[in-house]
């Protein structure tokens, strides 16, 4: 029988709110870690977002805090501080998203926590690297999308636009999962913990520049930044005769098949489109042709032909469509969970699968402080209630 995930036996103390930190620790819980969420008096602010229950169980909170235990602690209170230190002494990881400086005042910095537990790994998820001029500033996703270049890049020469999902929080959170896992692996060899820093700004700049640095990769630059294909104004979902599809032909074989299916096989020999370099240089003209050609064909027939020819293409889903998507239905991606207060929930399962170690089945996100009495008893702090 598969186990409960590759991180079974790892205990994570989370001191974070909103999205980046909780998203990271929820992924760790999906991989089998035990996650104890230490919430301040009143709880994680995300509890109140779109909370129709009035019980601090809004949908964002419910989605990204599954599989965790909750204890409400005021770290400035001596009794609660004692409970927190008992948790740290028995833990493997502390994850927080406090700005540099404030974590020292709160007493969750690596220097303080490593004196309690020399094997502790502290993952600090910041807006900016602590050693830069922005280091002490707080940050949220909109701010990060602006400063990192993401917002301006969305529209080229038009007004900057935010991506309509908290992209930077979630990407930095996933980077934090990899960093924490790497630190746990290193600790198995060294026996010592360490501080892991994940700054959102630097993370997103590296993320964006991977393909957008263009000729600015050279020093001095040999031309403009950017990647012509992704920056083309003609790159978008395309209308068919009766719907919309997304399509990305990339290789010579893809385009040869696509030209044939759309009735213009001779374009395979057109010097404008015969190689990936030529197609990139003439991408606006190519995508404009593709838009007109696709509009003449019905969606179902077109997708069947594209799939048979191994050209990557799919229909365009709305968020509501995802819950009835036949692939997600058949793979059992959405799990039904009964929450004792919020009722029946439908939530995404872990996308990553482990053949031998398995994945942890996550219980519903906890109500504020729901596990406090049990945790105090477990960690020998019953007298601090």
CA separation for the pair 186, 194 (Å, rounded) = 10
Active site residue 327: no
Contacts of 178 (CB under 8 A, 6+ apart): none
Coil, strand or helix at 132: coil
Q: What phi and psi values does residue 336 have, to the nearest 5 degrees?
A: -100, 120
Rounded alpha-carbon distances, angstroms, from residue 215 to 220, 222, 277, 281, 282: 9, 5, 15, 14, 17
Contacts of 27 (CB under 8 A, 6+ apart): 173, 174, 177, 350
How far from the centroid of its chain's Cα atoms is residue 348's Cα? Answer: 13
Element (H, E) at 93: strand 93-96
Coil, strand or helix at 126: strand
What secondary structure does DSSP assign to 24-63, as a single string?
HHHHHHHTT-EEEEEE-TT--GGGGTT-SSSSS--HHHHH
Helices (H), the chain: 20-30, 59-64, 78-90, 102-106, 110-116, 141-147, 150-155, 167-190, 200-212, 228-231, 252-261, 276-281, 283-294, 299-308, 319-322, 326-330, 372-378
Catalytic residue among 153, 234, 236, 327: 236
How far from the centroid of its chain's Cα atoms is residue 136's Cα? Answer: 24
Coil, strand or helix at 335: strand
Catalytic residues: 236
């Amino acid at each position: 029988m598969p186990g409960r995930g590759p991180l079974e036996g790892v205990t994570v103390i989370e001191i974070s709110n909103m999205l980046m930190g909780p998203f990271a620790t929820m992924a760790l819980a999906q991989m089998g870690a035990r996650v104890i969420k230490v919430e301040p008096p009143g709880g994680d602010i995300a509890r109140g977002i779109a909370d129709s229950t009035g019980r601090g169980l809004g949908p964002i909170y419910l989605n990204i805090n599954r599989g965790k235990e909750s204890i409400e602690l005021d770290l400035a209170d001596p009794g609660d501080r004692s409970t927190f230190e008992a948790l740290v002494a028995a833990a493997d990881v502390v994850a927080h998203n406090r700005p540099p400086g404030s974590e020292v005042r709160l007493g969750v910095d690596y220097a303080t926590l490593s004196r309690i537990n020399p094997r502790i790994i502290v993952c600090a998820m910041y807006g900016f690297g602590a050693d830069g001029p922005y280091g002490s500033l707080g940050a949220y996703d909109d701010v990060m999308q602006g400063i990192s270049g993401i917002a301006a890049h969305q529209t080229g020469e038009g007004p900057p636009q935010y991506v309509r999902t908290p992209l930077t929080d979630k990407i930095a959170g996933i980077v934090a999962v990899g960093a924490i896992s790497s630190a746990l692996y290193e600790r198995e060899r060294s026996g010592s913990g360490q501080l892991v820093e994940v700054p959102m700004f630097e993370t997103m700049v590296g993320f964006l520049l991977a393909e957008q640095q263009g000729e600015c990769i050279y020093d001095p630059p040999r031309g403009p930044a950017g990647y012509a294909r992704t920056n083309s104004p003609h790159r978008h979902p395309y209308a068919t005769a009766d719907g919309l599809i997304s399509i990305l032909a990339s290789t010579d074989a893809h385009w040869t098949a696509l030209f044939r299916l759309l009735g213009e096989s001779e374009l395979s020999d057109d010097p404008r489109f015969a190689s990936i370099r030529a197609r990139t240089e003439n991408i606006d003209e190519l995508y404009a042709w593709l838009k007109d050609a696709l509009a003449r064909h019905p969606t179902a027939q077109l997708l069947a032909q594209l799939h048979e020819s191994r050209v990557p293409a799919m229909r365009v889903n709305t968020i509501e469509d995802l819950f009835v998507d036949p692939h997600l239905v058949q793979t059992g991606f959405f799990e039904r969970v009964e929450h004792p207060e919020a009722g029946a929930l439908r939530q995404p399962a872990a996308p990553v699968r482990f053949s031998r170690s398995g994945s942890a089945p996550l219980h519903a996100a906890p109500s504020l402080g729901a596990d406090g009495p049990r945790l105090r008893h477990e960690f020998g702090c019953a007298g601090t209630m």
